Structure 1
Amino acid sequence: MRNLLLYSWLCAVLLPTFSQWGTIAYFQLNKEYIARVLCENRDRPELHCDGQCYLARRLKAQQEKQDQQTTERVQNIPVLQLYTPPFLRFDFLPELTVLPTKVTFSYQLPAYSAPLADLLQPPRL
């Protein structure tokens, strides 16, 4: 039962993500029909559109629809305003003050000094 609930929730959350993939899959499966019948540029084969205009139009319409639904959801969220009557003030709680602390950290590496005597000698034969 718990697994069924988990899978149904997961599908409900991921369904809007797969809607664009569904449109692309539909386009791939029906590419010939779309290029022959639904394409705006079917009369101009030199453009090699092959239905890409139809796909772009469908994806743009789908994105605009999804944006509009999101905007409507955000606008329709009920606002919960809490009112506290004056006699329920919580003055008995101590006031917390945070004192600023200065944290300093410095770490210096010692200066590197190469052993010059070994580096500047000619090779021995």
Structure 2
Amino acid sequence: MLVKAWVIPLVYLDYELRKEYIIANLCVNRGNPIAVCEGACYLAKKIVDAKKQDERQAERTYMAHLLFQVMDTGKPLVFRSPERFEMPLTVVFKYTSPFLSRTPIADIFHPPLV
């Protein structure tokens, strides 16, 4: 955040420190001796570039925060393993043979025994 606040002042500082070089080599109007630009065109171009870069960075930061907020549910994901599975010690099966009588009347009426 602090770096973002210093971008434009650093562009101005760079312009002031290298003013003669900018006027002689980088100015758009360096071939026209009548123009009194003195590198202001270069400075304006650099300031516009810095602002565009700042806007792109702000957009990226906004999108990153937006995606983080969408992905963040606010609850920490805790995967707990089950402490213990309780299994019955004995398994009881009830089996009734289909050949055994189910009712008292079946004891009387049955096929002959050999």
1:15 aligns with 2:8: no
2:31 to 31, 34, 43: 43
Q: 1:73 Cα shift?
A: 1.3
Select the structure with the greater relative contact order (CA < 8 A; seq sep ≥ 6).
2
Q: Distance in 2 between matches of 1:63 and 1:71?
A: 12
Q: Percent identity?
A: 27
Q: Distance in 1 between matches of 2:18 and 2:55?
A: 27
RMSD: 1.5
Q: 1:22 Cα shift?
A: 1.0
2:55 aligns to what? 67
1:106 aligns to what? none
Q: Distance in 2 between matches of 1:19 and 1:76?
A: 22
Any gaps of 5 or more consecutive residues in structure 1?
Answer: 1-12, 83-125
Tell me the secondary structure at the aligned position of residue 38 of structure 2.
coil
1:33 aligns with 2:13: no
Q: Distance in 2 between matches of 1:81 and 1:28?
A: 46
Q: 1:38 Cα shift?
A: 0.4
2:42 aligns to what? 54
Q: Distance in 1 between matches of 2:13 and 2:53?
A: 19
The size of the alignment, in residue pairs, is 70
Q: Distance in 1 between matches of 2:10 and 2:28?
A: 21
Taking structure 1 as the reference length, the TM-score comes to 0.52
After the TM superposition, which segments of 4 or more aligned residues of structure 1 sit over 4 Å from their partners? Answer: none
| Matched ranges for 1:87-102 at <5 A | none
Return 69-78 or 51-60, whichever deviates more. Answer: 69-78
Q: Distance in 2 between matches of 1:47 and 1:58?
A: 20
> Which structure's residues are more often helix, by fraction?
1
Q: 1:60 Cα shift?
A: 0.4
Q: 1:45 Cα shift?
A: 2.2
